[in-house]
Structure 1
Amino acid sequence: MTATEKDKNAPSDFMVQAAITYGCILLWIFLSALVIMVNKYVLAYAGFPFPIALTLTHMAFCAGLAFLIIKAGFVAPVNMDTRTYCRNVLPIAALFSGTLWLGNAAYLYLSVAFIQMLKATMPVTVFLTGVFLGTEKYSLMYALNMMVVAVGVGTASYGELNFNLVGAIFQAGSIVTESFRLCLIQLLLQASGIKLNPVTTLYYVAPACFAFLCIPFTFLELPRMLRPDTDPATAAVTEEAGLPVGWLMLSAVSAFALNMSVFVLIGRSSALTMNIAGVLKDWLLIMLSVVLYQSPVAGLQLFGYGIAFLGVCWYNYQKLKGAQQTLKSSPPPMDQESKPLLSDGSTGNGQKL
């Protein structure tokens, strides 16, 4: 092929690659929304008010498929001895178990729309946790930015028409445990040179999460499932609906597919693109919550979330700008490929490991 022919084909190749990239982003948005909306339906409407059991099905399904994928040779495993696994992976798995359990439990009490608004506090808790653990440096600008986000979320909470303190506590607990998990990933895994993609993460973390979740499940939910008569409200719902096997499988498959979409998307997008996609997904979930579940959203609530949204956007912009300056000041070696920057998302943006 001559240079002229290559130049002619360049625009079409660019369009094809762009179409694939944005197709992957749309798939990620769709799967993230699907996991959250299905989980809400299973827990609040399908007669299965057992968030720990739901999370256990996710962990069992994802761990099993990840095991098959690695054993089949599609993805190479990471060499990790028992000591490294216990010191570096198990603490992260324990925190992730709490994130998933508490986050799913919040769906029993709060609307999807309000939960998405509360999740806007994630940068605040990650920043505070990072300062506490030493992974972030205190900055007055960031602190003021976090205050804006906190005021916005506080206003949205004040405007929530169906506010439930128990649900808010569950969601706050999920956000806090996720913040510590993200910081520990940086402290334990990255500092040790351990690199896990979504498949190997499921392979190593999901079984540990399953084991950790079995403890509260045994004491909190298993007795209620075996003897529903001890909880009249649960008995009435579960006997009428039966076990939603189809919905549970859809939820587990969607959670695994979401992790695989992240695996595909990591090499095809920048952090800025991912953050914009995440913002679009949050607004989409609020709209779907109103349309599908008739969640009431007040004007004051939207106003508060708008303030928090602007604060989060500015925070992400500052973080990306700082990361780009760091990359420019320390360019990678010539024998390594330059990979796009991808911020580590939270489970709150879907059941992502």
Structure 2
Amino acid sequence: MVTNVVSSVGIVLTNKWVFKVHKFNFGTLLTVIHFVTTSVGLELLARMGYFHRKYVAPSRIFLLSSAFCGFVVLTNLSLQYNSVGFYQCAKVLTTPVVVGIQTLFYGITISNRLKLSLLLVLIGVAIATITDVELNLLGFLIAMAGVLVTSLYQIWVGTKQKELELDALQLLHNQAPISALSLLILFPFFDDLEALKAYELTAPAIRDIAITAAFSFFVNVSIYGIIGRTSPLTYNVVGHFKTVTVVILGFILFSYPVMFKNVSGILLTIAGIIWYTLIKLEESQPTLPRKP
């Protein structure tokens, strides 16, 4: 979880740097680079003996790879067609959708105390991050599709590890090349090819793109590790913590104005995360038999 938080915050800040400073505004192509880097990194780890390769037929992880591509494409489109405020609203909805899907289709239920702690986290994130909320039909449909596909992707990351009897690295080793190839085919439809042809790639830009790719390796590996060892729901809570961390760093690094709304939202989120963690730790303790 620590690796995921540090690398995720790092990739958000370095991606923003690549987009703003180097004007490399090709988000889908950058994701392709990230997954190629993840594939190469995992292959090196396998050759060094950190894990054993275990190949599965591409057809068995096709849905997982498709969900990932859909998640990337729909997230980019949601940000394009919606205001930042509504985009943040949609991201917050992923947690209750994950809970709903797990309850309806996988028979996984959570306690009322966990639901209340999640509600506190969601309210805190909403207060801390949501600004303007402008709604249009196309943007709404894209955002809702993105929420559904993202939720399914997170759930399938966990279920596929158990179904295929793979650990996190083995599953990602199978999925990463397929996702990279799929997005390579799709990126001409979502990135400006004319602008890409005219783009002048400099040494500093290559360096910073490489840094984002290195962060992406640790992000991808830790996502699969967290979901495989805990649950998609816990990963969502970690994700909300990353969101407020980015907001806090925005105040520090980019001199964003500090408002009471943001501070109160951050405090609520942290309180909800602590409560959620304490409940999960309590529920994970073995129940001792009562003495007669």
> What is the Cα deviation at residue 147 of structure 1?
4.1
How far the C-alpha of 1:206 sits from its partner, in A, is: 0.8
Determine what percentage of the aligned residue pairs are the same residue: 20
In the TM superposition, what is the alpha-carbon distance from 1:63 to its structure 2 partner? 1.0
Matched, 1:211 2:181: yes
Equivalent residue, structure 2, for 1:137:
109
Q: Is the 8 A contact 1:51 1:105 kept in 2?
A: no
Change in Cα spacing, 1:197 to 1:152, as seen in structure 2 (3 Å) is: closer
Over aligned residue pairs, what C-alpha RMSD do you find? Answer: 4.5
> Deviation of residue 128 (structure 1)?
2.1
Per-residue deviation, 1:72: 5.1
Amino acid at match of 1:69: L
Instruction: Give the 3-state SS of the residue equivalent to 2:191 in structure 1.
Output: helix
> For the structure 1 residues 136 and 148, does the alpha-carbon distance in structure 2 shift closer, same or farther, using more than 3 Å as the test?
same
Task: Map residues 169-248 of structure 1 onto 2, 5 A cutoff.
Answer: 176-190=148-162, 192-198=163-169, 200-226=170-196, 244-248=205-209
Equivalent residues of 1:59, 1:206 under 8 A apart = yes
CA distance in 1, matches of 2:197, 2:188: 13
The answer on whether the counterparts of 1:59 and 1:209 sit within 8 Å (CA) in structure 2 is yes
Task: Please state how far the C-alpha of 1:175 moved relative to its aligned partner.
Answer: 5.1
Please name the residue that 1:348 is paired with.
Answer: none
Q: Equivalent of 2:37, from 44, 55, 61?
A: 61
Cα distance change on mapping 1:179 and 1:321 into 2, 3 Å: farther
The answer for unaligned runs of 5 or more in structure 2 is none
Indicate whether 1:289 and 2:244 are aligned: no
CA distance in 2, matches of 1:283, 1:309: 8
* CA positional deviation for 1:203: 1.7
Q: Following TM superposition, by how much is the alpha carbon of 1:75 offset from its aligned partner in structure 2, in angstroms?
A: 2.5
Task: Go from structure 1 to structure 2 and tell me whether the alpha carbon gap of 1:264 and 1:226 turns closer, same or farther (over 3 Å shift).
Answer: closer
Greater mean deviation of Cα atoms: 130-139 or 208-217: 130-139
Q: Displacement, 1:133?
A: 2.4
What SS does structure 2 have at the residue aligned with 1:244? helix
**Separation in structure 2 between the aligned mates of residue 195 and residue 187 of structure 1, nearest angstrom:** 10
Corresponding residue number in structure 2 for 1:5: none
The one-letter code matched in structure 1 to 2:41 is: L
The 3 A distance-change label for structure 1 pair 77 and 239 is: closer
Amino acid at match of 2:167: L
Equivalent residue, structure 2, for 1:252: 213
User: Which has the higher Rg, Structure 1 or Structure 2?
Assistant: 1
Could you tell me how far apart the structure 2 residues matched to 1:72 and 1:31 are? 23
The total of aligned residue pairs comes to 281
CA distance, structure 2, for counterparts of residue 78 and residue 128 of structure 1 = 32
Contact 2:128 2:266 in 1 (8 A): yes
Q: Aligned equivalents of 2:12 and 2:109: distance in 1?
A: 33
The answer to whether the 8 A contact 1:124-1:149 is kept is no
Cα–Cα, structure 1 residues 318 and 98, in superposed 2: closer, same or farther, change >3 Å? farther
Instruction: Report the AA paired with residue 98 of structure 2.
Output: V
Structure 2 matches for 1:24-43, cutoff 5 A?
Answer: 25=2, 29-43=5-19
Q: Deviations over 1:312-335 (max 9, x none)?
A: 43334333433334xx58xxxxxx
Aligned-pair CA distance for 1:61 = 1.5
Structure 1 residue ranges without an equivalent (≥5)? 1-23, 229-237, 330-353
